[in-house]
Structure 1
Amino acid sequence: MLIGEVARRSGVSARMLRHYDTLGLVRPTGRTVGGYREYSPEDIRRIFHVEGLRSLGLSLSQIGRALDEAGFTPSTLVGDLIRKTEERLNREQELLERLRTVDAAEPSGWQDVLRIVELLHGLGSQSAARRLQAVLAPAEGVSVPAEMLAEAVLTESDPNVAGALRWALARAGGDGVASVASGMASEDVDVRRRVVLALAELPGDEATVVLTDALGDPDTTTRRHAALALGARGVTQAVPELVGTVLTGPNDVEAAELLGTLAQDAKWADRIMSALVYGLTAHAADSAVRMRLTQALAEMPGTTALDTLRQLSRDDDRAVALIASALVEKLEKRLDDELGQP
C-alpha cells in the first residue's frame, strides 16, 4: 500500500509517516519500481501501535523503545506519565479557577483584570503577612468577590489571616454562604471547622440552616462552634450541644450565657434547667464539672435556679459551695426586693 493510501486509511498524514520513516520508527517494508514507499500489513499495524502509544502521551523516542526493546516494561514509564498528567491537570484546574474568579469580578477593562490577578497572587502568597495585606488592603479599585474570599477561608490556616478573611467575607455580600458551605462536604475536619466559624459571622437563614445541619457533625469542635453560633441567633436546637459545652468546656462561659438568654423563653427554661440538673447528677464525682454547672446556673433568669443553688451551697467541694452560697445570697436578696420585704 502506498503512502497516500496509508495516510487516508490511518488518519496519519503523509508528512508524519515520512517523519516516522526518518526516525526509524515505522519504515515501510518495500519500495515500488519508481522508488515510492510501500507499506505491508505489518507496517500498517505498527503505525496503529505508534498512534495508540502517542495517545497516552509517550514521546516518539519512548514509543520506539516500547516497541523494539524486548525487556522494556511499561510500569515505571506509565507511572511517570500519570504523575505528569496529574500535575498538568492541576495547573489547568488552577487556571480555570483563576479565570472564573476574574470573570466573577466583572472587570471593565484589562487594568481591572491585572488588579484582580495581583490580588490573587497576594492571597496565594506563602507569607501570612502578605496574605493579610491582600485581604485588608486589596489592590486599588478592586472589590474582592465573595467566591474568592470563601475559597481562601476554606484553606487558610493562619488564625489572623483567617479572621480577616471572615471579616471581609461578611462584608462582601454575594453568594458567600453557598461558596463557604460547600466545605461541609470535606473529609478534612479543619475545613469543616473553618466553614462553621465563617458562617457564624454571616447573616441570613441560609447560614442558619447549614449551621443547624452542622450540629450532627462527627467532630466535637465543629458541633460546639455551630451551637455557639446558633445560640447567638436564638436557635433552640442548639440547647443540647450548649449544655454539653458547659459540661466539658471549652467555651463553657459563653455557652452558659447563651443558655441563660434562651431560658428567657418560658417554654425552654424548664428544659434547660432539667438538663443542667441532670448534668449535676451524672457528674456528681467531678468537682470541675459541678463548678461549671454552678456558674451556668447563675445565668438562669430570675430565681429559676435558686433551689438547685441552695443544694450546691452544701457541696463537698469548698469552692463550689462558696460560689453557690454567694449566688444564693444574691438571688434571695433579689427575691426579697421583689416581695417588698425589709
Structure 2
Amino acid sequence: MLIGEVTRRSGVSARMLRHYDSLGLVRPTGRSGTGYREYSGEDIRRIFHIESLRSLGLSLREVGRALDDPDFTPSGLVDDLIRQTLDRIANETELLTRLRRIGAAEPAGWEDVLQIVALLQALGSDSAGKRQRAALSSAAEDRMPVEALVEAALNETDPNVAGALRWALARSGDEGLALLARGLEAPEAEVRKRAVQAIAAIGNDTADALLQQALTSTDIVVRRHAALALGPHGVADTIPTLIDMIVAEVNDVDAADALSALSADPASADRIASGLVSHLDSGVADSSARRRLTQALAGIPGSTASRALAELAQDEDRGVALTAAYIIGLRDARDSGGR
C-alpha cells in the first residue's frame, strides 16, 4: 500500500508518516517498482498502535520503547501519565478560576486586569501581612472578586487576616452570602466555623436569616457559633445552645457574655436564670460545670437569678457555694452603690 492510501485509511498525514520513518518508528517493508514506499498490513497495524499510544499522552520516544522493548512495562509509565494529567488539570482549573474571577470583576482596561491579578496573587501569598493588605485593599478599592474573598475567608488561619477578610466581605453586602452558606456544609469543622463568623460579620437581614437557620442545624459546630453571633443581638432562641456550651466548656466565657447581653430583656433574663438553675439541679453537670453555671448567673439580673444564687451559697459543693457567695457580695455592693 502506497503512502497516499495509508494516509487516507489511517488519517495520519504523509508528512507525519515520513517523520515516523526518519525516527525508525514505522519503516515501510517494501518499495514499489518506481521506488515509492510500500506499507504492509503489519506496518498499518503498527501505525494504529502508535496513534493509540500517542492519544494517551506518550511521547514518540516512549511510544518507540513501548513497541520495541520486550522488557518495557507500562504500569510505571501509566502512573506517571496519570500524575502529569492530574497536575495539568489542576493547573488548568486554577487558571480557569482566575480568569472567571477577573471576568466577574468587569475590568475596564488592562490596568484593571493587572491590578486584580496582583490582588489575587497577594491573597494567595505565604505572607500573612501581604494577605491582610490584599484584603484591606480589595475592600477599599472594590476590586477583588467576591468568590476569591469567600474562598480566602473560609481557609484563612491567621486571625488578623481573617478579620480583614470578614470586613472586606461585609462591605460587599449580600453578594457573598450564597457562597458562605455553602461553607456551612463543608466537611471541615474549622471551615464551617469561619463560614458562620463571616456571615455574622455581614450583619444584615439576609445574614441574620441564614444564622437563624443555622441555629437549627444538626451540626453542633454551626449551631454553637450561630448562637454566639445571634445571642448578643437579642435572639432568645440561642439560650439553650449557649447554656449547653457553658456545661460543655466550649467557648463558655463567650457564651456567658452572650447570655448576659440577652438578659437585658427581663423575659429573657428569667428564662436564662431558669435554664441555668435547671442544669444545676439536673445532677448531670459535674462539679466544674456547676461552678461555670453559677458564674454565668453573675451576669443575669432579676429575682430568679438572685434566689438561685442565695440557694447556691448553701450548696454542698464548696466551690459552688463560695462562687455564689462571692457573686452575691458583688451584686450587693453594686446595688448599694447605686442608691
The normalised TM-score by structure 1 is 0.86
Distance 1:139 1:248, change over 3 A: closer
Change (3 A) 1:139 1:235: closer
Q: Report the CA distance between 1:324 and its aligned residue.
A: 2.2
Counterpart of 2:167 in structure 1 is 167
Query: For residue 74 of structure 1, what is the aligned residue in structure 2?
Result: 74
1:126 aligned counterpart, secondary structure: coil
Matches within 5 A, 1:79-228: 79-137=79-137, 143-173=143-173, 175-215=175-215, 221-228=221-228
What residue is the counterpart of 1:291 in the other structure? 291
The question of whether the paired residues in 2 share the 8 Å contact of 1:147 and 1:176 is answered with yes
Q: How far 1:154 moved relative to its partner?
A: 1.8
Structure 2 spans left out of the alignment, 5+ residues: none
CA contact (8 A) 1:123 1:152 kept: yes
SS in 2 for 1:121: helix
Q: Which amino acid aligns with 2:192?
A: R
Unaligned residue ranges in structure 1 (runs of 5+): 337-341
- For 1:242 and 1:155, how far apart are their aligned partners in 2? 26
Query: Which stretch shifts more, 131-140 or 86-95?
Result: 131-140
Kept after mapping to 1: 8 A contact 2:312/2:321? yes
Q: 1:66 to 1:225 in 2, by over 3 A?
A: same
My pick for the range that moved more, 272-281 or 67-76, is: 272-281
Task: Give the secondary structure class of the aligned counterpart of 1:108.
Answer: coil
Deviates more, 1:20-29 or 1:76-85: 20-29
Report if aligned partners of 1:314, 1:321 keep a CA contact under 8 Å in 2.
yes
Aligned counterparts of 2:139 and 2:193: Cα–Cα separation in 1: 29
Q: How far apart are residue 132 of structure 1 and its match?
A: 1.8
- Judge conservation of contact 2:174–2:206 (CA < 8 Å) in 1: no
Q: Distance in 1 between matches of 2:285 and 2:97?
A: 55
Instruction: Please list the CA deviations of residues 252-303 of structure 1 after superposition, one character each: whole Å capped at 9, or x if unmatched.
Output: 2332233344456677566544432232134577332222211222333421
Task: Give the residue type in structure 2 aligned to 1:131.
Answer: R
Count residues with an aligned counterpart: 337
Report 1:34-73 matches (<5 A).
34-73=34-73
Q: Compare 126-135 and 233-242 and name the one that shifted more.
A: 233-242
Q: Which amino acid aligns with 1:12?
A: V
Is the 1:215–1:226 contact (alpha carbons within 8 Å) kept by the matching residues of 2? Answer: yes
In structure 2, the partner of 1:257 is 257
Amino acid at match of 1:101: R
After superposition, the Cα gap between the structure-2 partners of 1:177 and 1:21, relative to the gap in structure 1 and judged at 3 Å, is: same
2:115 maps to a residue whose letter is: R
- What are the Cα deviations for residues 47-91 of structure 1, in whole angstroms up to 9, with x where unaligned? 221111111111011011111122211111111111111111111
| CA–CA separation in structure 2 for the residues paired with 1:185 and 1:334 | 46
What's the CA shift for 1:116? 1.0
**What whole-Å deviation, never above 9, does each CA across 1:89-144 have from its counterpart, x for those lacking one?**
11111111111121121111101111111111211111112222222345995632
Secondary structure at 1:57 match in 2:
coil
Distance 1:21 1:284 in 2: 85
- Worse-superposed segment, 128-137 or 56-65: 128-137
Moved more, 91-100 or 284-293: 284-293
- Matches of 2:35 and 2:230, distance apart in 1: 85
CA distance in 2 between counterparts of 1:60 and 1:24 reads 10
C-alpha distance after superposition, 1:193-222 (max 9, x if no partner): 221221221123443354345456677554
> What is the CA-CA distance between 1:240 and the residue it aligns to?
2.3
Tell me the distance in 2 between the aligned counterparts of 1:144 and 1:95: 16
Percent identical across equivalent pairs?
Answer: 56
Q: Which amino acid aligns with 1:227?
A: A
Which residue type is aligned with residue 309 of structure 1? L
